[in-house]
């Protein structure tokens, strides 16, 4: 039976960074992921990583931009830590071998990004996330003697002892279907977001909220779950992302009448206002009939010199060509707001610790909260690395003074029985894929850029029905080797838990802040709602709601204009 | 919406049966991908179809397959295009990648082949000494240069169709050698010579590639692995003068000289020249050792008996001109994905794809650096 000081679930940037930090601190480490680490969704973060590394810049400026971007819902103590530690983290990555863009002097060069008052985004063409992920994986291979990798293992549940401590996880080896207990003194969830609750979404098919739901089921509170970021530039049919880097490089947005409409909504920052603002502006144009017939507006990258586009935005040149049939260096491309990121997640402190002893969370699965109501572009890579590292260090440290737990082996048998039961379901119910599609389309309809009470209540009713249907939903694959079907059924359960919390948070927050815009409560209301909404599992019932204060250090809430 | 027929190669190790073909009808817009088609079949008809997939946008590298016999990402090929390029113009044939064992349906064992080879090239940066206090100061072009190999998503498409690997399964292969260039070309790495020496001396290393271009065609990201292998050779041979025991460098030099002399390849001279000329003591035993290969090549028509006689390209002046132009250059011209010539070429080519996925035409030199737009500089 594998037993490690620190078990990390998920091998994107947060997980890999946590593994490297924990190993460096002397812990024995296992990192486990349902896909090969380099397939992780961190790949998708194209534009860059923010850090106030330039002598003219300051971490305070970065922190203020982040606080303002969060619509004052971000916890300022956590934001300060993130922004203060950002420069060293970027240098660490550079020393590990990330091929960051240089300026002519050979020093790190930057690009502009949304919501930022200085150009502080460090980047590798428009494959920054990919480059970071692959370089961290190089380091994982390098330290293979200290870090055990379990690639293509799927966590079915977390383990908890009688005192309520998290003691590891049970996982299925996707390759042969066997179940295994992983004992661990500390477990770090780094399994990413839940974008697949929406359809379409920019998120990969693997982003099914596994870790959020696993922690929730164990009793850990979720926070800010209503805060779903709609990215301003996604392709209409399939939700594929066009990086904010395009606007950072100078691309403009136009409605069908050829108006550069951001002049109306954000006269100063224009296209580089924060994402919630730009997405709402676009959706307003579309809703009021000034969009194109396919429900889109136009992103014009021809403003950027062609040579620069080919060098710095190569990936979206390919995406435009391959997924929309458009040469973005010569003509505008039609885009719309699309589900992109969940600011909320498992509530943690600044060390990544959740309220469950022995359980940590870092990256998109977690909510520290540094993003509050709206995440700034190029802050997510930073979040994964800073809090991944902090979680890894802290977990390694507490592991030093602990004995290795040993989970009750009968748990594996229970788990095996419940998996067998899914595989054995008769075909009287619905197909898993059908329920997933219905959920995604509904969420994208009722829990999107603009929300209201009636729509959210309908959404909640629907989720309750889908949850019942999911209990008896059937699958086709009865095998053990790469049975992706049975994993899909388990993921559907995770997604439905996440979706319910997203909707509950949105119903609860009766104001408009950051990504949450309630047409029935269109104003921000600091008197009543400058607080986090925490949701805790309540048996099989609707989650229990409580509140926690927003930590404010230096920056009092102000009106937010761009 | 149009209907498409997907013919998928199925295999389950659990049934004891051999692989078989199964057809699925899917209904999707022609611009949707083959992956979307497979997922629709999986969602609506048979959830047991095995395929790795995640991002749907050609960035995660999960869904490497062969479509109509050619390797690539399932998410990166439109159904309409795939149908047109199919043998009968109707049935889109999808099967697992080659050169790697199949685990189930379209899923291959990348650990057993691809990742093992990646680990072979010491795939991490090995700087000399401790890092500087701030960033390493390195030329902008060098970072852009190695970023071409950073663009690799480890999908395995190049490995799938590598002809050298087919005959020599131990060949380090296109993906891993491209990865090796990522460090060899990185000025921060302190082991350039050691890495190259290692890869040149390995009988399955850089000189095991036969320039078939399959990997360049297969790569969905424009990494052009073969180009990277050739750059490894140039740096090993020209810069470090590594004379490998496989005779790779001498063979390459003999080849260049052979063409310079004859304009076309004179096969009869090539082998002895690779070993130092017809009268070199090593040439005779090598020639005798190679006789079976030569005979086989003759029997299969790869070499005609005529080719063994002396022959020349009629217009030697043209050959001379090419050689002179190349020799007169001060520095090597290297192709690069991210440096793509000047803005002014805009009107000239009329086809943006020439600077897109086809690295063969994405020409530029390290000298033509792109303008820096950073407000910090």
pLDDT score for A438: 98
pLDDT score recorded for residue B337: 62
**Prior bond of A369 cis (ω within 30°):** yes
Banded pLDDT at A214 (limits 50, 70, 90): very high
Percentage of the residues of chain A whose pLDDT score is greater than 70: 100
- Rounded Cα distance, A492 and A209, in Å: 9
**What ipTM was assigned to the predicted interfaces of this complex?**
0.95
Q: Average pLDDT, whole number, for chain B?
A: 87
In whole angstroms, give the CA distance from residue B157 to residue B108: 11
Per-residue pLDDT at B351 exceeds 70: no
Task: Average the pLDDT over A193-214 and give the result.
Answer: 97
Phi and psi torsions of A235, nearest 5°: -75, 145
pLDDT of residue B348: 38
B32–A38 CB contact, under 8 Å = no
pLDDT at B342 over 70: no
Could you tell me which of A229, A54, A35 has the C-alpha nearest to residue A133?
A35
Do residue B57 and residue A56 have CB atoms under 8 angstroms apart?
Answer: no
Q: What percent of chain B has pLDDT over 90?
A: 65
Q: How far from the centroid of its chain's Cα atoms is residue A90's Cα? A: 20
- What does the pLDDT look like over A277-310, one tens digit per residue? 999 999 999 999 999 999 999 999 999 999 889 8
Among A453-457, B197-201, B257-261, which stretch is predicted with the lowest mean pLDDT?
B257-261
Judged by a CB distance cut-off of 8 A, whether residue A544 touches chain B is no
What is the rounded CA–CA span in Å between residue B12 and residue A251?
49
Position A112 pLDDT exceeds 90: no
For the segment A358-370, the average pLDDT, to the nearest whole number, is 98
pLDDT score recorded for residue A34: 98
For residue B349, pLDDT over 50 is answered with no
pLDDT score at A411:
92
The closest alpha carbon to A530, from A518, A517, A512, A544, belongs to A512
Task: Centre a 10 Å sphere on the Cβ of residue B300 and count the other Cβ atoms it contains.
Answer: 8
The nearest alpha carbon in chain B to A107 belongs to B137
Relative orientation angle of helices A13-24 and A380-400, to the nearest 10 degrees = 30
- Asked if B35 and B63 touch (Cβ cutoff 8 Å), the reply is yes
The mean per-residue pLDDT over the stretch A183-201 comes to 97
What pLDDT does B308 receive?
A: 72
- Within 10 Å of residue A457's Cβ, how many Cβ atoms? 13
Contacts of B229 (CB under 8 A, 6+ apart): B174, B177, B178, B181, B206, B209
Confidence (pLDDT) at A233:
96
Tens digits of residue pLDDT in A141-154? 999 999 999 999 99
Mean pLDDT of chain A: 96
Whole-angstrom Cα distance, residue B294 to residue B149? 36
Res B299: pLDDT: 87
How far, in Å, CA of B194 to CA of B61, rounded?
Answer: 30
Q: Which residue of B has its CA nearest to A131?
A: B150
Instruction: Kindly state the average pLDDT of the residues A15-32.
Output: 98
Give residue-wise pLDDT tens across range B121-169: 999 999 999 999 999 999 999 998 999 999 999 999 999 999 999 999 9
Q: Is the pTM of this model over 0.90?
A: yes
Partnered with residue A414 across adjacent β-strands are none
Quote the pLDDT of residue A407: 82
Q: What is the DSSP track for B289-331?
A: HHHHHHHHHHHTTSS-GGGGS----S-HHHHHHHHHHHHH-SS
Asked if A310 lies within 8 A of B62 by C-beta distance, the reply is no
Q: Is B149 helix (H, G, I), strand (E, B) or coil?
A: helix
More confident residue, B357 or A287: A287
Q: Report chain A residues whose CB lies below 8 A from the CB of B110.
A: 36
Nearest-by-Cβ selection for A106 from B62, B123, B139: B139
Residues from chain B that touch A143, judged by Cβ atoms under 8 A, are none
Sign of the dihedral through C-alpha B263, B266, B267, B269: negative
Mean pLDDT of A255-266: 96
Q: Which of the pair, B297 or A397, is modelled with greater confidence?
A: A397
Point out the residue among A104, A314, A431 whose CB comes nearest to the CB of B372.
A104
pLDDT over 80 at B370, yes or no: no
Mean predicted confidence (pLDDT) in B48-59: 96
> A324 contacts in B (CB within 8 Å)?
31
* Per-residue pLDDT, A43: 96
Q: How does pLDDT run across A459-488, given as a tens digit for each residue? A: 999 999 999 999 999 999 999 999 999 999
Q: Does A425 touch chain B (CB under 8 A)?
A: no
CA distance A82 to B334: 40
3-state secondary structure A143-160: CCCCEEEEECEEEEEEEE
**What is residue B356's predicted lDDT score, i.e. its pLDDT?**
36
pLDDT at B375: 33
Angstrom distance (rounded) from CA A172 to CA A154: 5
Q: Which of A495, A493, A510, A500 is nearest to A535 (CA)?
A: A500
Cα(A393)–Cα(A396) distance, integer angstroms:
5
Q: What is the pLDDT of residues A402-450, one digit of tens each?
A: 999 988 889 999 999 999 999 999 999 999 999 999 999 999 999 999 9
């Amino acid at each position: 039976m594998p037993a490690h000081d620190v078990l990390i679930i998920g091998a994107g940037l947060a997980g890999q960074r946590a593994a490297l930090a924990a190993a460096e601190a002397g812990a024995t480490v296992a990192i486990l992921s349902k896909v090969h680490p380099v397939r992780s969704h961190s790949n998708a973060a194209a534009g860059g990583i923010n850090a106030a590394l330039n002598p003219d810049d300051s971490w305070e400026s970065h922190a203020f931009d982040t606080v303002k971007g969060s619509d004052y819902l971000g916890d300022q103590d956590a934001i300060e830590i993130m922004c203060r530690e950002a420069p060293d983290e970027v240098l660490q990555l550079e020393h590990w071998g990330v091929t960051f863009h240089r300026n002519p002097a050979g020093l790190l060069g930057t690009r502009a990004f949304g919501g930022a008052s200085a150009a502080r985004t460090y980047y590798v063409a428009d494959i920054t996330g990919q480059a970071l992920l692959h370089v961290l994986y190089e380091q994982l291979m390098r330290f293979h003697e200290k870090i055990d990798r379990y690639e293509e293992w799927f966590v079915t549940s977390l383990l908890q002892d009688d005192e309520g401590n998290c003691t590891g996880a049970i996982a299925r080896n996707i390759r042969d279907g066997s179940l295994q207990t992983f004992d661990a003194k500390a477990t770090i969830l780094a399994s990413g977001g839940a974008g697949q609750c929406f359809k379409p979404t920019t998120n990969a098919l693997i982003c099914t909220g596994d870790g959020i739901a696993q922690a929730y089921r164990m009793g850990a509170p979720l926070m800010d779950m209503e805060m779903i970021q709609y990215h301003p530039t996604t392709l209409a049919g399939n939700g594929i992302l066009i990086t904010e880097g395009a606007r950072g490089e100078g691309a403009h947005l136009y409605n069908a009448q050829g108006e550069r409409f951001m002049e109306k909504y954000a006269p100063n920052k224009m296209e580089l206002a924060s994402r919630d603002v730009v997405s709402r502006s676009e959706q307003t144009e579309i809703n009021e009939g000034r969009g194109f017939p396919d429900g889109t507006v136009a992103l014009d990258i021809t403003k950027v010199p062609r040579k620069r586009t080919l060098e710095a935005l190569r990936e979206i040149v390919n995406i435009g060509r391959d997924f929309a049939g458009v040469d973005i260096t010569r003509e505008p491309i039609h885009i719309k707001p699309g589900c992109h990121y969940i600011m909320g997640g498992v509530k943690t402190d600044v060390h990544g610790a959740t309220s469950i002893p022995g359980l940590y969370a870092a990256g998109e699965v977690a909510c520290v909260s540094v993003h509050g109501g709206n995440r700034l572009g190029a802050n997510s890579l930073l979040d994964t690395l800073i809090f991944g590292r902090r979680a890894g260090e802290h977990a390694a440290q507490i592991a030093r003074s602990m004995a290795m737990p040993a989970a009750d082996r009968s748990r594996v048998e229970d788990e095996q029985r419940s998996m067998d039961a899914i595989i054995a379901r008769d075909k009287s119910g619905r197909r898993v894929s059908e329920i997933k599609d219905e959920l995604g389309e509904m969420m994208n309809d009722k829990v999107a850029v603009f929300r209201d009470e009636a729509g959210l209540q309908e959404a909640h009713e629907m989720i309750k029905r889908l949850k019942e249907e999911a209990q008896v939903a059937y699958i086709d694959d009865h095998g053990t080797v790469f049975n992706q079907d049975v994993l899909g059924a388990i993921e559907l359960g995770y997604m439905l838990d996440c979706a319910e919390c997203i909707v509950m948070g949105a119903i609860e927050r009766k104001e408009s802040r950051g990504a949450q815009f309630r047409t029935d409560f269109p104003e921000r209301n600091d008197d009543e709602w400058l607080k986090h909404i925490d949701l805790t599992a309540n048996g099989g019932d609707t989650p229990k709601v409580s509140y926690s204060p927003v930590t404010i250090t230096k920056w009092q809430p102000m009106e937010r204009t761009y | 919406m149009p209907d498409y027929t997907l013919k998928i190669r199925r295999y389950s190790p659990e049934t004891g049966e051999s692989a078989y073909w199964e057809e699925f009808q899917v209904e999707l817009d022609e611009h949707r991908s083959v992956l979307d088609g497979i997922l629709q079949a999986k969602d609506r008809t048979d959830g047991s179809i095995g395929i790795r997939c995640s991002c749907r946008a050609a960035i995660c590298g999960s869904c490497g397959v062969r479509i109509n016999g050619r390797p690539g990402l399932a998410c990166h090929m439109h159904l309409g295009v795939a149908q047109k390029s199919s043998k009968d113009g109707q049935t889109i044939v999808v099967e697992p990648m080659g050169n790697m064992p199949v685990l189930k349906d379209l899923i291959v064992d990348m650990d057993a082949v691809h990742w093992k080879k990646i680990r072979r090239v010491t795939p991490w940066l090995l700087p000399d000494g401790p890092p500087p206090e701030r960033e390493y100061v390195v030329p902008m072009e060098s970072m852009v240069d190695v970023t071409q190999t950073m663009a690799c998503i480890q999908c395995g498409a190049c490995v799938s169709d590598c002809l050298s690997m087919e005959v020599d399964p131990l060949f380090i292969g296109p993906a891993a050698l491209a990865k090796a260039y990522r460090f060899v070309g990185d000025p921060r790495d302190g082991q350039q010579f050691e890495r190259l020496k290692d890869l040149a001396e390995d009988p399955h290393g850089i000189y095991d590639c036969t320039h078939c271009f399959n990997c360049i065609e297969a790569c969905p990201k424009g990494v052009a692995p073969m180009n990277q292998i050739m750059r490894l050779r140039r740096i090993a041979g020209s810069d470090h003068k590594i004379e490998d025991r496989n005779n790779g460098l001498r063979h390459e030099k003999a080849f260049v000289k052979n063409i310079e002399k004859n304009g076309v390849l004179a096969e009869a001279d090539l082998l002895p020249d690779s070993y130092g000329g017809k009268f070199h003591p090593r040439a005779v035993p090598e020639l005798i050792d190679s006789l079976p290969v030569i005979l086989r090549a003759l029997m299969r028509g790869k070499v005609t008996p005529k080719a063994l006689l002396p022959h020349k390209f009629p217009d030697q002046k043209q050959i001379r001109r090419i050689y002179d132009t190349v020799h007169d250059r001060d520095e090597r011209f290297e192709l690069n994905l991210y440096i793509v010539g000047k803005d002014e070429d805009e009107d000239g080519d009329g086809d943006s794809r020439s600077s897109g996925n086809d690295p063969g035409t994405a020409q530029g030199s390290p000298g033509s650096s792109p303008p820096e737009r950073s407000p910090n500089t």
